[in-house]
Amino acid sequence: MLGTKGLFSRLIAQYGYAALSGLMLILIQPPVSLYPLAFAALVPLMRGIDKDNLRRSFLRGFITGIIAWLGTIYWVVVAMNQYGGIIVPLSILILVLFVLYLSLYTGIFTFACAYLEKVTSAPSYLIAAPVWVILEYSRGIVMTGFPWSYLGHSQFGFLHLIQVASVTGTLFISFMIVAANSIICTIWARKKVPVVFTVVIAAIFASSLVYGFVRLQHRDEGKLKAAIVQGNIGQDIKWDESFKMMTVSKYYRLSFGLAQGTDIIIWPETAIPFLLGREPAAYRYVQAVPVMLGSRLLFGTVGMLSTGNLLNTVLYIDRDGNTAGIYNKVHLVPFGEYTPIVSYFPFLAKLTAIGADFRPGDGHRPIETDVGKIGVLICFEGIFPYITNDTVRQGAEVLVNLTNDAWYNRTSAPYQHFAFYVFRAIETDRYVLRAANTGISSIIDPRGRIEGKTPIFTEEVLRGTYALKNTETFYVRHGDYFVIICVGFLVLVVVAGLVRKRVVQDSPGPGAKRTRQ
Across the range 135-153, mean pLDDT stands at 96
pLDDT digits (tens, 9 = 90+) for 341-350: 555 556 555 5
Percent of the chain with pLDDT over 70: 93
pLDDT recorded at residue 337: 76
Q: Give me the chain's average pLDDT, please.
A: 91
Give the DSSP letter string of 419-465: HHHHHHHHHHT--EEEEETTS--EEE-TTS-EEEE--SSS-EEEEEE
For residue 1, pLDDT beyond 60: no
Residue 428, C-beta contacts closer than 8 angstroms, at least 6 positions apart = 388, 389, 392, 399, 446, 473, 475, 476
118, with CB counted inside 10 A (0-12, 13-18, 19+), is: middle
283 falls in which pLDDT band (50, 70, 90)? confident
Catalytic residues: 269, 329, 379
The DSSP code sequence of 308-353 is S-EEEEEEEE-TTS-EEEEEE--SPPBTTTB-TTTTT-GGGGGGSS
**pLDDT-above-90 percentage for the chain:** 73
| Per-residue pLDDT, 340 | 63
- What value, to the nearest 5°, has the Cα angle with vertex 476 and ends 467 and 469? 15
DSSP state at residue 358: B
* Pairing mode of beta strands 224-230, 264-266: parallel
Q: How far apart are CA 381 and CA 142, in angstroms?
A: 15
Contact in structure between 62 and 101 (CB atoms under 8 Å): no
Instruction: Domains for the chain: give ranges and CATH numbers.
Output: 2-216+481-500 (no CATH), 224-468 (3.60.110.10)
Q: Report yes or no: 40 and 181 within 8 Å, Cβ to Cβ.
A: yes
pLDDT tens track for 319-375: 999 999 999 999 988 777 777 655 555 655 555 544 557 899 999 999 999 999 999
